[in-house]
Structure 1
Amino acid sequence: MAKISVPFAVRSPLLAALPIAALSMSSAAWAQIKIGVDLSTTGPAASIGASSKNAVLLWPKEIAGIKVEYILLDDASDPGNAVRNARKLIAEEKIDVLVGPNTTPNALALLDVAAETGTPMVTLAASASIVEPMDAKRAWVFKMPQNDTHMTTILTQHMADSGVRTAAFIGFADAYGESWWREFSKLAEMRKIRIVANERYARTDTSVTGQILKIISAHPDAVLIAASATPAVLPQKTLLERGYKGPIYQTHGIASLEFLKVGGRDVENTLFPTGPAVVAKQLPLANPVRNTALDFTRRYEAAYGADSMTQFAADAWGAYLLIANAVPQALKSAQPGSRQFRAALRTALENTHKLIVPQGVINMSATDHVGLDQRSRVMGKIQGNKFTYSYGG
């Protein structure tokens, strides 16, 4: 594939490169930072990838006075494609940092690639298993979304405060579902919430009737669906079709407009933990990230319309802010395009402190490559086919 030297190019394994903007580049080859982006803009996770891509297209074309070229590839929601994309971006495009993927299986598939090539990766996927336990491979990986622990803490608190004493669980049969099961089962026990059913399904399944019948027969006070994007609608729709009347909880992985569109009335009154950016307009005035979240919300809605903000767009904007904050420090040690610059950038990312992004306040360390605390989540509720603020923060 011919290389297109523009400040922003979208490239796909299946399509020819499409320039987004054609601005003049510096004549000094080294005075350019190259950021590779791997997203699932097609396949089961397309609704997540679409929001992330929208935010990426708003990234400024310079960082610290140096022009930036962004190269975006679609992995079609497939881990194998994600690996091929990452290797292409690193070997052929000579990127300085990789942003993405935005699904847990794809991110896990890139741990070896990042470490082997010494390329820092800022993932938009959610599972804590991507950055924990810290080891030589994960030392190159940083994660924008909140850990499941952050979200499960406020979710189980809401359950307990609402009088839920028994709960059923149904989640993806992959790393995302397993990570949520570990955290939910642990915190539910601490809150004295008894789990009466534990079911799984695949992202591509078209029926979960068997699993839902088992859940309903257990008579839970509430049900948690640990899934993301539009595939998270299926269990909820089936629960309602089978007559379930109790509260239904989802994870922060649902905060996309496609989820609302596909779910329609079936997802009304859904309870879910979310990053503060999703409900920025309704946050309390004292919330520490409110101004930053509102600033990005206005920028995003100016480009994509009212009430278009999502968890995934905010995470992608946070990735830009994180990298932009680290670049000046890395430039003191080496020039872009070199292995030394990538190593310096990794170190600078790891030493990020008190950085406010739309989803929280980041304080990284050698053992914590997320850096978020309890200021990074609130409880939300779907009302009037919109994501609304409930409490927290």
Structure 2
Amino acid sequence: MSIGPIAFDASLWDEPTTGIGLYTRCLASALEEQGASLERFGARLSGEHPRGHMGRTGYTLARLPRDLRGSEARLFHALGNFNLPLTRVPGKAYVLTVHDLIPLTMRETVSTAFRWQFRLWLTRSLMIADRVVCVSAHTRDELLARFPEVADRTVVVHNGVDHVDAERLDATGETFVRTLALPKDFVLYAGSLDVRKNVGLVLDAMERLRARGRSVPLVLSGQSWFGSGAVETRVGRMRAEGFDIRPLGYQSAPVFYELMRRAALFVFPSRGEGFGLPPLEAMRLGTATIVSNVGSLPEVCGDAAPAVGPDDAEGLATAIDRLLRAPEERRQWAEKGRRQAEAFTWKRAADQTLAAYEAALRER
């Protein structure tokens, strides 16, 4: 079936990288490698239809429908959980990617205003979407528990992770990483510092390890987010008490992944993930990884990463302590992680997304 040009949601294309922004760029590249022709809508400056100084919401509601009417593309793919136009543009099929339902399932992790926007706009988007792509079976199950009417229009397409292979430090990056003077056998958490990521459990584990007489260096790489103030305050207090905790803030992709390569362990005890890309990235890069046993993480990480409960600080401390003392066991987990991550490629994601496009167009 000839799909023709695809109207592609590029609203996060020019923004600081988030999970959805990374998904946008990696999926676009993989689709183009499969021969798809993309017409990018709504990037701030780039693409065929930039929004300029308009906000993302304003563009989608006010200008995107007009831009779509003038396009030869027969299908528009919205990538940001809920951001389809509110009305149907004649002759256009709609596909929507839903990454997670965190604003509905973990209400305390987002602002009230965003939660209302998410719920109302998602409900409308699901009414008019011809196909809904969920990035995990976990997300699909949570979506269908609330919106069972979209079951026959919903498919699961896992993210890829092989994008990390191309991210290598240049000379400037090498110099920067050297200046960090990273300690031997450090534990790394990489990701945003928001409430649901459960960084507090990692800090609890550090306190338990210190009480046992075990001082473990911890590196935190990630941007502040909604609700991160409590974690940042606690980190400052613990550093004043002598804990070796190094908060690096947001880092470029090459540095971010180099930290993963150099870490003895990667920890990611999140309370809720729609997919959970950072632990899979660490696994792809050959770093033993510890995760929580909730959300999508069991689905994505399988049996290739030790898992603890999201409230089990003692279990996390014990796992960290054991693996730091057992290099051979770490190597075994690292190898299992590499094998698990091999199944998650952007080519596979693009192939399955193209199949979703074809199904959406058949039904128009």
TM-score (norm 2): 0.34
> Which has more strand, going by share of residues?
1
More helix by share: 2
